[in-house]
Amino acid sequence: MTKSFPSFVLYVIIFLCGLFHISAQDDFDTACQLAQPFCSDESERLTFPNKIGDLDGFGEIGCLNTTPNPSWYFLRIEESGRLIFDIRQWVDTDDDQRLDRNERQLDVDFIAWGPFETSFVVCDVLAKGCDLNNDGENIQPAECVNNADEPDFYINNLDNTNIIDCSYARQPEERIFVENFTIENAQQGEYYLVLITNFADESGVIQLEQTNVDEEEAGSTDCSILEPGIAQETITTCGAYPITIEGRFPGDAEQNILPAVTYQWSNAPIGSDTFTNIAGATLPFLEVNANGIYRLQGFDSTGSEVANSPDQVAVLDVLSLDFEVGLRVAEESFSGLYTITAEILVDPVITDAGFEDFEYLLEKEGNVRGEISFTTLREFQSSPVFENVPPGDYKVRARYRGCPDNEVVSAETLMILGYPKYFTPNGDGFHETWNLINPEGQVTALLYIFDRNGKLLKQIDPLSSGWDGTYNGSLMPSAQYWFKVEFNEPTDPNRRRRTFSGSFSLIR
């Protein structure tokens, strides 16, 4: 691949021109590397200055017969799903970045590529044509179509390249001023590049707006990439090194802030603030193969460190993360329903670095076809708190989000005492006796059963099969009965002695 300028020279050119676009002399193979970040959500509808003075552009690319005044943008996916954008261009007479009724719209065409792991791609990987027979040869722009003519062409990947969408107004006199750009089934963390042209060669602004943000299964863009430095504060992987991290310091021409034209990466162990420069790591992106804190510095054309530099990101392979999970209950036994809270025990340097995105699943002991085992009561959730939990034996299973292979189960079982509200000793084999729920371990417990007049009917061992609903061999009638239990509180670390009274129903 031949490059017309090194990257740092391109940054200087951009700043001296006072614009953040590629100048006419730049080669296609370098132009995309200075794409500007874009996002769009309910709070962000961003506009950017367009480009003029380069009617030649890059010639024919994809469905575009010409690419006059090309402007480059990139976006990063925050939430997976489908994304649909409107692209507009107009003469912003009052500079309010809003399309007003009296302002003139301009023809706008575009082509987009993706997905990529980083916005810093080698530009010649961007397909300039389509491959209808999928043979990998003779990839021609003539085989590409306008999405206005065939809306599903790129959605169904009939182009067989990394072009994901392309559109133009077929004739200027059609006065079509809005192009539609779709990313189907975008995945979190993916990057996409977009080239937008200015056929009219008039100064104005470009606006990209996501139009399906409120729809079901819609994806979203990551607006953190608009900030200088590294977009993420933490990055996790689940056993999949290497990964690419990136950052930039684009400067601000209006505020006379110089952009970074050279870079330096350094790293430190997680929990340390002693950084060591990484030899040869002088591009704004870096391939990472190990856990650590990675710091990026940017320097302007004078050699001075730029505004907002340095910035850093913590990287962790959570598949190798060593942690334990415990659990506790807020209420005492016989409260009815309970709140169980999971607690992660992990090296504090991990949480101090920002890695706190754990998920929790609640398991309850039960009898499945005669076998005692733990089964899922509540599926994985981001909150460690489980509310309205009935009595029983419980364990919690935890994992770091996005890494199911590092699940950890609590070593101890949480035992919560309770009692059934009724029993039905009618010979059908279900609920034939009444006893405490979860009396295991209560070897010194005393359990008494009374009728509604306070007459003692039975003293039973909580570890036995329970009361069968008889008194001196006679069946007791359907009615409300009372009980009193003396036990050691299992939720108390000191196992203090308690007494509890309640009632239940016998139903025949």
Lowest mean pLDDT segment, chosen from 33-37, 181-185, 456-460 = 33-37
Confidence of residue 158 (pLDDT cuts 50, 70, 90): very high
pLDDT of residue 42: 60
Same domain, 112 and 132: yes
Same domain, 217 and 235: no
Kindly state whether residue 396 falls inside one of the protein's structural domains: yes
Kindly state whether residue 153 falls inside one of the protein's structural domains: yes
pLDDT of residue 372: 79
- What's the 3-state SS for 156-210? CCCCCCCEEEEECCCCHHHCCCCEEEEEEEECCCCEEEEEECCCCCCCCEEEEEE
Give the bridge partners for 328, in sequence order.
341
Same domain, 29 and 151: yes
Among candidate residues 210, 226, 242, the one where a domain is terminated: 226
Same domain, 195 and 90: yes
Same domain, 31 and 171: yes
Same domain, 310 and 233: yes
Same domain, 212 and 89: yes
Enter the tokens of residue 327.
Answer: 């659990």
Enter the tokens of residue 240.
Answer: 């999949």
Instruction: For residue 97, give the CATH number of its domain.
Output: 2.60.120.380
Residue 123 sits at the vertex; the CA angle it makes with 299 and 46, to the nearest 5 degrees, is: 70
Output the CA torsion sign for 316, 319, 321, 327: positive
pLDDT of residue 477: 95
Residue with tokens 């001075």: 304
Same domain, 18 and 96: yes
Return phi, psi of residue 405, to 5°: -80, -5
Among candidate residues 226, 250, 281, the one where a domain is terminated: 226
Kindly state whether residue 2 falls inside one of the protein's structural domains: no
Q: Are 159 and 144 in contact (CB under 8 A)?
A: yes
What is the Cα–Cα distance from 352 to 428, expressed in whole angstroms?
58
Average pLDDT score over residue span 449-464: 93
pLDDT of residue 253: 66
Same domain, 217 and 248: no
- Strand pairing category for 479-488 and 446-450: antiparallel
Looking at the structure of the chain, the number of domains it has is 4
Return phi, psi of residue 351, to 5°: -70, -35
Among candidate residues 317, 338, 358, the one where a domain is terminated: 317
What is the Cα–Cα distance from 44 to 190, expressed in whole angstroms?
19
Average pLDDT score over residue span 59-65: 94
pLDDT of residue 18: 34
Confidence of residue 455 (pLDDT cuts 50, 70, 90): very high
Q: Is the pLDDT of residue 2 over 50?
A: no
DSSP type of residue 136: S
Enter the tokens of residue 367.
Answer: 């009898």
pLDDT of residue 255: 79
pLDDT of residue 7: 32
Confidence of residue 5 (pLDDT cuts 50, 70, 90): very low
What is the Cα–Cα distance from 351 to 140, expressed in whole angstroms?
51
Kindly state whether residue 97 falls inside one of the protein's structural domains: yes
pLDDT of residue 177: 85
Q: How many CB atoms lie within 10 A of CB 304?
A: 11
Average pLDDT, the chain: 88
Q: Are 108 and 85 in contact (CB under 8 A)?
A: no
Same domain, 328 and 313: no
Burial of 90 (0-12, 13-18, 19+ CB in 10 A): buried
What is the Cα–Cα distance from 364 to 349, expressed in whole angstroms?
32
pLDDT of residue 27: 74
Lowest mean pLDDT segment, chosen from 28-37, 60-69, 343-352 = 28-37
Return phi, psi of residue 123, to 5°: -65, -25
Average pLDDT score over residue span 471-482: 94
Kindly state whether residue 399 falls inside one of the protein's structural domains: yes
Q: Which residue has the higher pLDDT, 294 or 225?
A: 294
Same domain, 464 and 493: yes
Percent of the chain topping pLDDT 90: 62
Lowest mean pLDDT segment, chosen from 176-180, 291-295, 359-363, 365-369 = 365-369
Q: What residue numbers bound the domain in which 428 lies?
A: 422-506
Does residue 142 sit in helix, strand or coil? helix
- Strand pairing category for 323-329 and 338-346: antiparallel
Kindly state whether residue 1 falls inside one of the protein's structural domains: no
Q: Please name which of 482, 474, 485, 484 lies closest in space to residue 506, comparing C-alpha atoms.
A: 482
The pTM for the full model equals: 0.67
Element (H, E) at 348: helix 348-352
Same domain, 44 and 123: yes
pLDDT of residue 13: 29
Per-residue pLDDT tens for 298-328?
Answer: 999 899 999 999 999 999 999 989 999 999 9
Per-residue pLDDT tens for 116-130?
Answer: 988 888 888 999 999
Average pLDDT score over residue span 144-152: 94
Transcribe 331-343 into DSSP letters.
SPTTSSSEEEEEE
Instruction: For residue 385, give the CATH number of its domain.
Output: 2.60.40.10
